[in-house]
Amino acid sequence: MARQTEIIQLSKEERSYLKTLFGGGGGSNRKQTRARILDLLSKHTSPPEIARLLGCSLMTIYHIKRRFLSEGVESALSERPRSGKPVEISGEARARITALACSDAPEGYARWTLRLLADKAVELGFCDSVSHNHVRAILKKTN
């Protein structure tokens, strides 16, 4: 027996909200693409055809459809938080590490190394711990 596909039905308010997104009414390109997917699904366009038209994967279409049916239009259009460790070093600590890198190198060294900067930042209490690679990323973001 074939699986029943659920049909997307958009209310007038939802359809007008999607139309404002199409006309450059705010939102990222990803949000606009999701809005287009919902609009095409409501017009009974097949998922493979939508994938071909918009240049996205079939799984993207199925995920957006499932989120719309279970949680609504706002959930289908928005992004969920991504996993990853949050930044633990404050802006003040970053500024102090940058200032430390601009200062004179410790005695016995010609210049600061990333490992020396990381060790000194922890020693001076700028942060609890920091790797030399994180120090590199901090310094890379400064001009």
CA torsion sign, 128 to 134 to 140 to 141? negative
Taking only the tens place, the pLDDT of each residue in 84-98 is 777 678 889 999 999
Domain positions in the chain are 12-77, 91-140
In angstroms, the CA 121 to CA 130 distance is: 8
> What is the number of alpha carbons within 13 Å of residue 35 lying toward its C-beta?
21
Give the pTM: 0.59
Taking only the tens place, the pLDDT of each residue in 118-138 is 999 999 999 988 999 999 999
In angstroms, the CA 25 to CA 58 distance is: 26
Residue 142: partners with Cβ closer than 8 Å, 6 or more residues away: 98
pLDDT in tens, the chain (143 residues): 455 677 888 888 988 888 888 776 667 888 889 999 999 999 999 999 999 999 999 999 999 999 999 998 898 988 888 787 776 788 899 999 999 999 999 999 999 999 999 999 999 999 988 999 999 999 998 86
Asked if 53 contacts 40 with a C-beta cutoff of 8 angstroms, the reply is yes
Question: What secondary structure letter does DSSP report for 131?
Answer: -
Supply angle C-alpha 49, 5, 79, rounded to 5. Answer: 70
The pLDDT assigned to 89 comes to 87
